[in-house]
Structure 1
């Protein structure tokens, strides 16, 4: 796992949190994040910053990035937060087939067994505890990803 791209909707909470967690856990990997409908330059949500600060990670400087073709080409592995993200990404970039998986479904990637409930919950607009739960889920997913890879 050399170059990993994490993708969500707006690139202001889930994918930047997952990217920060993966960078911390796998310092040798190149990790980026982007959003399918992101506007470049938006700040990360304050709740996401707080959720990761409690884990010793600083996300405050992150600014959103819209997904682009050169990012898809750059990545060895693209991990999406939901099935809908995966499907939308593949509609837009069919050449990415074979290197795109849902983050929570990654251990089952290629088996044909991918339940629909393996989406990372979107905490946007929710309470701090919802962001904290999302960060916990992402932390577990990153740990599992590193065990499988």
Structure 2
């Protein structure tokens, strides 16, 4: 079973949606967790606009509770998928060489735009992009 960890800034929008989208796509072939670089929303539900975007795509994000990344999470994961370049740079700085080979961008060569502070259509577009990106993550060697 492949173990994937999705990471964004706060574990409030993008990474929790990626977690449920990857789980739906790959089922028992993966174990997926998500985390944020900061603990601002620790133990809080996902952003309401992202919950609604998930619902539009047939996914339920309501059980999610945000959590801040730990070294134990990095140890657990086979692959750590950052939602954007800034998150990837932070992950590289905090994880050091021990986890360097595991780190990569969720969309390989581009960022998933952060919808925070934007209208609902930005959350919907973000969710569609993340869901489409699920096809990139199984059956290939990931960082």
TM-score > 0.5, shorter chain as reference = yes
Please, which of 97, 100, 107 is the counterpart of residue 97 of structure 1? 100
2:70 is aligned to 68
Q: For residues 147 and 73 of structure 1, do their structure 2 counterparts lie closer, same or farther at Cα, with a shift above 3 Å needed?
A: closer
Runs of 4+ in 1 over 3 A off after TM superposition: 146-149
Q: Does 1:129 find its partner at 2:121?
A: yes
Q: CA deviation at 1:87?
A: 1.1
Helix, strand or coil for the counterpart of 1:26?
helix
Q: Deviations over 1:84-142 (max 9, x none)?
A: 1111111111111001000111xxxxxxxx5xxx1110001211100000001101111
1:108 is aligned to none
Name structure 2 gaps, 5 residues minimum: none
Q: Deviations over 1:51-72 (max 9, x none)?
A: 0111111101211000000000
Aligned residue pairs total 138
Q: Distance in 2 between matches of 1:31 and 1:52?
A: 17
TM-score, length of structure 1 as denominator length:
0.88
Q: Once superposed, what is the RMSD of the aligned Cα atoms?
A: 1.3
Q: CA deviation at 1:146?
A: 3.5
Q: Distance in 2 between matches of 1:133 and 1:21?
A: 14
1:26 is aligned to 26
Q: Distance in 1 between matches of 2:63 and 2:51?
A: 9
